[in-house]
Structure 1
Amino acid sequence: MAPTTLQPGALAGVRVVEMGQLIAGPFAGKTLGEFGAEVIKIEAPGAGDPLRNWRMIKDGTSVWWQVQSRNKKSVALDLRQPQGQDLARQLLRKADVLIENFRPGTLEGWGMSPEALHAINPGLVILRISGYGQTGPYRDLPGFGVVGEAMGGLRHLTGEPGRVPVRVGVSIGDTLAALHGTIGVLTALYHRKVNGGQGQVIDVALHEAVFNVMESLVPEYSAFGAVRESAGSALPGIAPSNAYPCADGWVLVAGNGDSIFKRLMQAIGREDLGQAPDLANNAGRVARVQEIDAAIGDWTRSRSITEVLDVLAQARVPAGRVYTAKDICEDPHYRARDMILQQATRDGYTVEVPGVVPKLSATPGTVRSSAPHLGDDTDAVLASMGLNAAQIAQLRSQGVIQ
């Protein structure tokens, strides 16, 4: 079941207004919500966040939605109407954080520029996630995560040499932007606490979030003119670290530490390589990486994945199988660390979902509420802002809320 705790979350008392949709903005809201923040998600009346209908649907709603929108309240509010914009400003007047991932200029078009919002709430922390950032010559271009992955340098490195660049398999560009945005929010909240209560704007570009994790890509080009290329499953410049064939699949082996390499070679019966003076360090192993990979592959090829992992575990060599969703759900380690949770939905069924990361000892993240139906919390949130039943009913009749 979802983890619970008697202690308040680390972010209890922090009110977040989420105006984003799909992945990047909402993932940041999800993360803050799991650690105790109150997250009020504003959705457009009608269909709401398109993520409600992405990928596989159960009982009319995406099961992805059940993860992305847990611990959130849904307010169906039309931000294209002046009355809707006024209501949003009232809500933001008492908020701590605003998350948005619209194209630059959208907030300004609704009369909610950072300057305008800080005039009514100087302490507001505003997270803005966009394809190319709020400034620069590309700011007005439409940008999704896949484009950010390409511009950030990641797509060029994925796949087999000489073949088409491939996707990582998930929307990694959006998620990296969300995590960078979350770091920015927490940093800005701390700054606000110790520096007089002033909020600020956090500007995250999708491609910059990807670029930030590209390791030595640019320094190597700057220093040596080297353009790193795709290398399939290998880790260029680090040896041995690759995927190797087994009788029933593939196994990943990372034997690239000096002492680890010697233990690996002993385990596979190639002590001649383990004791070779020129292979005692990484530079020497890189020069002979094809020979080393062939030796490991010759050993793994006739053995099962389980046998290979057992032998390498005894030798204290990092190795692992390539997990599928089935493997993850059946793995006892995932279960032992509460990384697979049973989460009840508002549609009446229970679904297994990922747990909360990272794990805090005193204030662990929790799942306090299931993902909302569109507009589930509209009346309650508006009532908390001081609107009475007649005012709420009039707004609903005008199509401002749902």
Structure 2
Amino acid sequence: MNPLPTGPAATAPEAPDLPLDGLDVVECASFVAGPSGCMALAQLGARVIRVDPIGGGSDHNRWPVTPDGASLYWTALNKYKRSVAVDLRSPQGRELVVALATRPGPGNGVFVDNGVGRARLSYETLAARRADVIHLHIQGHPDGRPAVDYTVNAEVGVATITGPESSAVPVNHVLPAWDLLAGMTAATGLLAALHRRDRTGEGEYIELALADVATAGVANLGWLAEAEQREAERPRHGNHMYGSFGIDFATSDGGRVMVVALTEAQWQALQGVTATTETFRSMELALNADLSLEKERYRLRETIAAILRPWFESRPLDVVTKELDGARVLWGPYRGMPEVVAAHRTAEDPTVVDWVEQPGVGRVVSARSPLRLGGAYGRTATAPLLGEHTEEVLGDLLGITQAEFGRLLDDGVVALPAGR
């Protein structure tokens, strides 16, 4: 099949002063890692063209959802992007995506995917069209076996050291931390490859396995080295912080706070506000301990917590908040997510979240990039409707005429949003 023609450059993306203005990324990815990494690039100004299967991919209706069934998950991870709905199983559909991913120009030729099977585009296919293409492929395991956050978290040993001391079974977490970290690693890898291409003119094929991200993560924290040297599993500590002093305390009105003393200054601040300095000095003498040392606070964590607990239990949360903040103690309140939403809604200054009118959903909480450029958060954005930009992108970037687009539409190669 002959290459499709390339048309004139599209209009400049919104906020052209952002660092990645002029960068185009074509994304064929589902679930968390690829979409979150590409969203981070889009928040910094890149034009991310998301290629969606006609009718939506396997994550298009993933929970959490609205009462009407619209995916809050999908719309939250795909904001700032453009959506092109294409049948990648058809030769014409594959050619459209190849053409998008290999368009000429210094800011083009960047492709991200986590596809498997026959519909997946290979680096060889892309590089044959554009030698300096950058292709980042996200996998489960480096040998191609599938994996998700919850399976690799089990595999790297985190679940066996999580949970209460009395637990005899692994405890899963609810946060897909490795997925999110893989997304940021993907973004870092793409930017590194772009920098190298700017210097050398060479493209790059990058593979990133979720299992490798998790394994490297626990290794980089020293956890694997510790396991090898101990020749045993690290003990579970429930809500106690491992290797230092940190534990939760209940307040008199049913609140709960997490208090941490990593440094000597933080430990002194905690003693001062709770009026326990003399008590702990006596404890040091009695036990021949030096609580200025982090390892000693960790060793005697249960005793320290027992001494501090009455101070918290005798005060309501608002008083605890005022006194801990005044003493510059390292702490944080336990909040439910509705409380988190309420706190941002009533904040006097801009925060990392705002509210947007998401098409098909309504008014929802939306996060900006946590990077504050020039001291300010960036703009908010919504996610596209499935296939919302199909005609615009193919026309502006590939020069597809209205007549040609109509034939592609009639043949089921591309699609527009439902109802259009």
1:64 and 2:77 equivalent?
A: no
Give me the CA root mean square deviation.
2.4
- 1:263 matched residue in structure 2: 269
Equivalent residue of 1:149, what SS?
helix
- 2:134 matched residue in structure 1: 125
* 1:123-162 mapped onto 2 (5 Å cutoff): 123-133=132-142, 135=143, 139=144, 141-162=145-166
- 2:386 matched residue in structure 1: 374
Equivalent of 1:200 in 204, 227, 236: 204
- 1:244 matched residue in structure 2: 249
**After superposition, what is the alpha-carbon deviation per residue over 1:212-270, rounded to whole angstroms, capped at 9, x for unaligned?**
332120121233434323322111111x2111222212100012311221221232122
Residues 391 and 184 of structure 1: CA distance in aligned 2, closer, same or farther (over 3 Å): same
Equivalent residue of 1:127, what SS?
strand
User: Normalised by the size of structure 1, how large is the TM-score?
Assistant: 0.88
* 1:86-235 mapped onto 2 (5 Å cutoff): 86-94=95-103, 95-103=108-116, 106=117, 109-110=118-119, 112-133=121-142, 135=143, 139=144, 141-163=145-167, 164-194=169-199, 196-214=200-218, 215-235=221-241
Structure 2: how far apart are the matches of 1:300 and 1:279?
A: 20
- 2:300 matched residue in structure 1: 288
Structure 2: how far apart are the matches of 1:213 and 1:53?
A: 27
Structure 2: how far apart are the matches of 1:316 and 1:363?
A: 25
- 2:356 matched residue in structure 1: 343
1:55 and 2:82 equivalent?
A: no
- The one-letter code of the counterpart of 1:93 is T
Moved more, 20-29 or 353-362: 353-362
- State the 1:58 CA deviation: 5.5
Segments of 5+ residues of structure 1 without an aligned counterpart are none
Contact kept? 1:54, 1:64, Cα under 8 Å = yes
Contact kept? 1:155, 1:165, Cα under 8 Å = yes
1:328 and 2:333 equivalent?
A: no
- 2:401 matched residue in structure 1: 388
Moved more, 208-217 or 75-84: 208-217
**After superposition, what is the alpha-carbon deviation per residue over 1:72-104, rounded to whole angstroms, capped at 9, x for unaligned?**
11111011111111111111111332111224x
Identity %: 26
- State the 1:111 CA deviation: 7.0
- 1:309 matched residue in structure 2: 321
- The one-letter code of the counterpart of 2:373 is L
Contact kept? 1:217, 1:227, Cα under 8 Å = no
Segments of 5+ residues of structure 2 without an aligned counterpart are 1-12, 416-420
Residues 210 and 365 of structure 1: CA distance in aligned 2, closer, same or farther (over 3 Å): farther
User: Normalised by the size of structure 2, how large is the TM-score?
Assistant: 0.85
**After superposition, what is the alpha-carbon deviation per residue over 1:188-233, rounded to whole angstroms, capped at 9, x for unaligned?**
1112112x22121222211222233321201212334343233221
Contact kept? 2:161, 2:233, Cα under 8 Å = no
Contact kept? 1:76, 1:378, Cα under 8 Å = yes
1:18 and 2:23 equivalent?
A: no
Structure 2: how far apart are the matches of 1:348 and 1:235?
A: 40
Structure 2: how far apart are the matches of 1:130 and 1:189?
A: 21
Alignment: residue pair count: 387
**After superposition, what is the alpha-carbon deviation per residue over 1:30-83, rounded to whole angstroms, capped at 9, x for unaligned?**
111111111111111123452344322265522233321111111110111111
Structure 1: how far apart are the matches of 2:236 and 2:323?
A: 30
Moved more, 216-225 or 369-378: 216-225
Moved more, 20-29 or 50-59: 50-59
Equivalent residue of 1:331, what SS?
helix
**After superposition, what is the alpha-carbon deviation per residue over 1:169-193, rounded to whole angstroms, capped at 9, x for unaligned?**
2322221211111111111111211
